[in-house]
Amino acid sequence: MILHGGLLNPSFQAASASNSMPIAVTSVNNLFSPAYFRYRYVSASGNVFFRSRKATRDRISLCHGNYGIRVCSESKAEEKQVRKYSPLLESPLRSENNVSTAHLKVIPDIWRSAAQRFGDRVALVDPHHDPPTNMTYNQVEQDILNFSEGLRVIGIKPCEKLALFADNSCRWLIADQGIMATGAINVVRGSRSSVEELLHIYNHSESVALAVDNPELYHRIAAAFNSKASVKFLILLWGETSSISSHVMEGIPAYTYKEIIDMGHENRALFVDSHDAHEKYVYEPIKSDDVAALIYTSGTTGNPKGVMLTHNNLLHQVHNLCDIVPAGPGDRFLSMLPPWHSYERACEYFILSSGVEQVYTTIKHLKDDLRQYQPQYMISVPLVFQTLYSGIQKQISTSSAIRKLVAVSFLRISLAYMEFKNIYEGKCLSRNQKQPSYIAATLDWLYARVIAAILLPLHLLAKKIVYSKIHSSIGLSKAGISGGGSLPTHVDKFFEAIGTKVQVGYGLTESSPVVAARRAHCNVLGSVGTPIRYTEIKVVHDETGEDLPPGSKGIVKARGPQIMQGYYKNPIATSQAIDEDGWLNTGDIGWISPVHSVGRSRNTGGIIVLEGRAKDTIVLSTGENVEPEQLEEAAMRSSLIQQIVVIGQDQRRLGAIVVPNKEEVVLASKKLSTSDSDDVELSKEKIAGLLSQELRKWTSDCSFQIGPILVVEEPFTKNFKSKWVETITFDFVASGLMPATIVDFRLIVPVMKIWKPRSRKNPSTLAVRTLPSTASEASMRRKGMYAEWRRLSRRDRADDDNSCYVGISLGG
């Protein structure tokens, strides 16, 4: 007999293979009282077992012959199980009502404290899932408690790992915190990761069970997980288990989000009604230094590494991000980033601990949600702010000639006004340790003040006529928070000019993540601000490791309570990332602004400026060091360029690989053509010529110039759902270019990272990390040049992962 659903009723139908038999049950000791049972199961022999609150095991044998029922009790003392609990969140269950809500010991404690302070305020708004969801702080607390208890019912134990592969939603947060509240460790990743990556993360982390976004994701990964992983049970955050084919499940128990919530609610009621239920456990509070989550970084080589973040790491962010974002009840945040990124995750914990309303959105709905919800804050990445910038610019460019002229003129005036304003306010960055003389600084301040005063009325008029319409469409009345990458300077200046504050933060997954950020009162463009509380940052020499003075460029290191516990099962990588004194090597190049008492930089002392990754640095044969990001950022302002990567390691001059924006190139060619025909045939040479002109135009102010270029017909990444690009086809349009870098095509953002050569045999080889390519040698012949495809041997690799490298050597 197989039972489905809830507890047995006094009369029920038991299905057999041949017929169904009605069974009447009468018990003088209330055997079937709902308050009696904790859970039940069916043995292979047909016996139905119920676990009672008295720690006895009751067996009910079905007797088919006389339709009777035989009940016996097997009193058996059970070993007490360890039950970890969140000290504050579950304090009512433990009758610890005197626990202070002001002191959070672990992350799940947030929800008890928030529920007491903000109660019926709306916490979460999730309008784009089915069903749409609004949850108050009280509801969030109760659902987290129910979900955690439901996990205990189906067998999750403290310190076990449960993989959570899902995207941003209110149910992700409930599942994340429900897992933590049991003392288990969640292992997180997004649904768009490749099957191979998800399988590696699951097995490497030693996860025992799986929670996924929806049935579609499970169908995609089921074959690999069924054959190569051990899954105790499956939880669907969205959708029904009936949507999963039975042959796909292969006997794995599956539960919906609602079923977990209901089981947890039912079991919590038993604890309230029964003192005996408490006696079955040994209670241990979750500790601050316990691992809360494993976050696997994408990594630049090999398989991703699991970053172990403790409750104390994440609580540091909760307690100190208020210095950056002074949010509170009544404020609204727009959330759209993957919550398995430590950036979004830590920010969610922080803002919800402050009584803020969080609205979930997606790229598809971003424009409409900004207009509808008018959020005071949005936490996002530079790409989103670039998208907003491009949308505004496109709207201006497609306006009538008069409107366009007015908007562009006002923007130029506002940009100039803000530049002079920053000068007289002392918010200009400088690496010069020697400060200017008092007289020179005074004259400079006076000149900037006068010019700014002249431009101010026009700037205020622009805010009223033009910028107010932009503000009404995007909201962000207080600030947009940008992190996870470098915000382009022209985007930064644009939002400052229109009066939308964009604050930039800096950190890594290994630092939970924020170590520094720009404050609202000192939002210095081009920087990542100052260290947050209890955090130390220094700059060291990249070779000797010696501490460098302010203004000197070197490797940025950070130390503080937010630094990870280490990489999971990887002590070697941990020791390479964190030294004996606790300093985390960020791998970023930067400098700290010197302290000046007068002049343009008098209010920028101690501010951190980043100039790229250490491994992105290009060293020319002349001995000059080049940071390619400045050139790439300048070049990307051209509408003719879709993607670009600057190369030239160990060469005499720089080169670049460029993906043209084909539509814009055609339009530019038509403008330059004297023919009236719409059919403009573009040769490779003509495309290269147009792109070279654009590069010279937009990079003229940079310290270095780009020489020969290499035009790529297709974008760098064709499919971001794959870990690596499958095929790349290069057209060589310039001679004399000897690339000597490695290009890494990553999943998350469409950017290219550059590393030094991995081939020791041929230092002038462009090694593109990719899956086995189908390109032939014939397809690589262009303009009398020969491109040789070859697979580098294992001894030429710098790491021992399963991917291969394809070298492209130029020859006559």
pLDDT of residue 624: 66
Cβ within 8 Å of residue 522, ≥6 positions away: 427, 529, 530, 603, 604, 607
Architecture of domain 332-614: 3-Layer(aba) Sandwich (3.40)
Average pLDDT, the chain: 79
What average pLDDT does range 669-681 have in this prediction?
62
Answer yes or no: is pLDDT of 740 > 70: no
pLDDT of residue 803: 29
Token readout for 97 is: 């009502």
The domain locations on the chain are: 11-78, 82-287, 332-614, 617-811
Secondary-structure class of domain 82-287 per CATH: alpha beta
| Contact status, residue 433 vs residue 594, Cβ threshold 8 Å | yes
Instruction: Say whether 617-811 and 82-287 share the same fold.
Output: no
339: left (phi over 0), alpha (psi -120 to 50) or beta: alpha
Q: How far apart are CA 173 and CA 349, in angstroms?
A: 9
Task: Please tell me the number of Cα atoms within 13 Å of 696 on its side-chain side.
Answer: 8
Highest mean pLDDT among 6-20, 188-202, 702-716: 188-202
pLDDT of residue 653: 84
**Residue 463: pLDDT band by 50, 70, 90 thresholds?**
very high
**Residue 670: pLDDT band by 50, 70, 90 thresholds?**
confident
DSSP conformation letters of 560-603: STTS-SEETT-HHHHHHHB-TT--EEEEEEEEEPPP-SSSTTTT
DSSP E strands in 234-356: the ranges are 234-236, 254-256, 281-285, 291-296, 306-310, 332-335
Cβ within 8 Å of residue 794, ≥6 positions away: 800
Higher pLDDT, 683 or 516: 516
| Contact status, residue 238 vs residue 171, Cβ threshold 8 Å | yes
Say if strands 584-592 and 566-567 run parallel, antiparallel, or are unpaired. unpaired
Residue 573, CA distances (Å) to 375, 628, 677, 757 in order: 41, 27, 61, 21
What average pLDDT does range 78-86 have in this prediction?
86
pLDDT of residue 78: 60
The H-or-E segment that residue 744 falls in is: strand 742-745
Token readout for 599 is: 């002049």
Higher pLDDT, 606 or 634: 606
Answer yes or no: is pLDDT of 164 > 70: yes
Q: How far apart are CA 653 and CA 705, in angstroms?
A: 8
Residue given tokens 């993360």 in the structure block = 201
> Residue 329 class from Cβ within 10 Å (0-12 exposed, 13-18 middle, 19+ buried)?
exposed
The topology under which CATH files domain 617-811 is: GMP Synthetase; Chain A, domain 3 (3.30.300)
| Contact status, residue 649 vs residue 625, Cβ threshold 8 Å | no
**Residue 497: pLDDT band by 50, 70, 90 thresholds?**
very high
Going by the DSSP 8-state scheme, the letter that residue 721 receives in this structure is: T
**Residue 715: pLDDT band by 50, 70, 90 thresholds?**
confident
